[in-house]
Amino acid sequence: MAIIIKRKTAVGLGRETNYKTESTQLVNFGVQDITIDIQKTTILNQQMYARIEDTRDSRIGTEMAQVTLSGIVESAFFGQFFRAALGTLATTDDTPESGANTHAFSVLNTNQHPSYSIIYDDGNQDMVVLGARLQSLKKTIVAGDWVNYEAVFVGNPPSTASESASYVDDFLFSADQATVRMAAVGGSFSGAGIALSSLDITINKNTEPYFAFGAKTPNNVINKQFSVAGTFSLLHDDSTYYDLFRNHTLNAMEIVLSGGTIPATSTPYSVKIVLPQIHLSTWDNNGGAEEVVTQNIAFNAEYEESASAMITAQLINDQAGTAY
């Protein structure tokens, strides 16, 4: 054992072929932070034994772990989170050109999305959380900063692992590489994009552990109702978004990150999220007397019938689909 700082922690993640069986495709990746919240319930023997003391015995009732990962959106690894969030992947190799692969993610309409093994090794502990399913995935874009994410998983409590870490550099996205567009429902996205100062979008899967007789750890982890919501801010220099809010006008939204160049190609790395139908749920321009007046707007995604989707995602990089 040694005194350490958290920066020494190695983190890895991989999709499980069989639920709660350690993944054979674990990949290490950089993180800004990892939090392991071991959640334990305790059952107490508080029967009467002719004593005034209230508890005579205790044991563990249930145990699980909530793992929160945060970091910078990367061109390759973020496909792991898209697969965990949406469930379905279709890869088209050598598209849009040889050496560039297009990965399309869509919502799997089941309550058993892919499960993951998450490893962490800080020199004192080498541990793995098995059977982890995504609870929520948030992406945040703020002008002048990296594009950041927060991914929350629910799974088994940690158990001992034996892994060694290795890293491959990946392309990182920043806010200057982001474009957000809105269009009529069923229309096409065009133009330079909206001059936003910030945007966040959260996929929430309302994931819940299920406990059964014979074990203290989850028998299963179930993703339940699926929702997408977010917020954005921009200058209040016209009434466009106020009118959309007041009139409850439905629109489509596209969020694109694009930058760098895939080796041996002319294709940039890119991440794209499309929401075929959204409504603006709140609007305000609150602020101090000396502040520039901005609009702060919240939106919710809806399932759009003709697109057969609430959300789709696309990732273009040089990775094989089997990586996800």
Alpha-carbon distance of 117 to 115, in angstroms, equals 7
Q: In this structure, is residue 252 part of a structural domain? A: yes
> Mind listing the pLDDT tens digit for each residue in 118-150?
999 998 999 999 999 999 999 999 999 999 999
Letter for the amino acid at 291?
Answer: E
The 8-class DSSP code of residue 293 comes to: P
Distances in Å between the Cα of 86 and the Cα atoms of 128, 173, 241, 310 are 23, 21, 29, 11
pLDDT of residue 105: 98
Alpha-carbon distance of 264 to 282, in angstroms, equals 46
Confidence of residue 180 (pLDDT cuts 50, 70, 90): very high
Query: Cα 278 to chain center, whole Å?
Result: 19
Q: In this structure, is residue 52 part of a structural domain? A: no
Q: In this structure, is residue 45 part of a structural domain? A: no
Confidence of residue 15 (pLDDT cuts 50, 70, 90): very high
Q: In this structure, is residue 53 part of a structural domain? A: no
> Mind listing the pLDDT tens digit for each residue in 220-247?
999 999 999 999 999 999 999 999 999 9
Is residue 1 predicted with pLDDT exceeding 80? no
pLDDT of residue 164: 82
Overall average pLDDT of the 86-107 stretch: 98
Letter for the amino acid at 146?
Answer: W
SS3 194: coil
Answer for the pair 26, 130: CB distance below 8 angstroms, yes or no. Answer: no
Confidence of residue 103 (pLDDT cuts 50, 70, 90): very high
Answer for the pair 222, 155: CB distance below 8 angstroms, yes or no. Answer: no
Averaged confidence pLDDT in the chain: 96
What are the structure tokens assigned to 188, written together? 């096409």
Q: In this structure, is residue 28 part of a structural domain? A: yes
Please state the domain count of the chain. 1
Query: Cα 306 to chain center, whole Å?
Result: 26
Is residue 314 predicted with pLDDT exceeding 80? yes
Give residue 314's domain range. 6-39+60-323
Helix (H) and strand (E) counts for the chain?
A: 2, 19
Q: In this structure, is residue 54 part of a structural domain? A: no
Say which residues have a Cβ less than 8 Å from residue 170's Cβ, sequence separation at least 6. 29, 30, 74, 75, 76, 77
Q: In this structure, is residue 296 part of a structural domain? A: yes
Q: In this structure, is residue 44 part of a structural domain? A: no
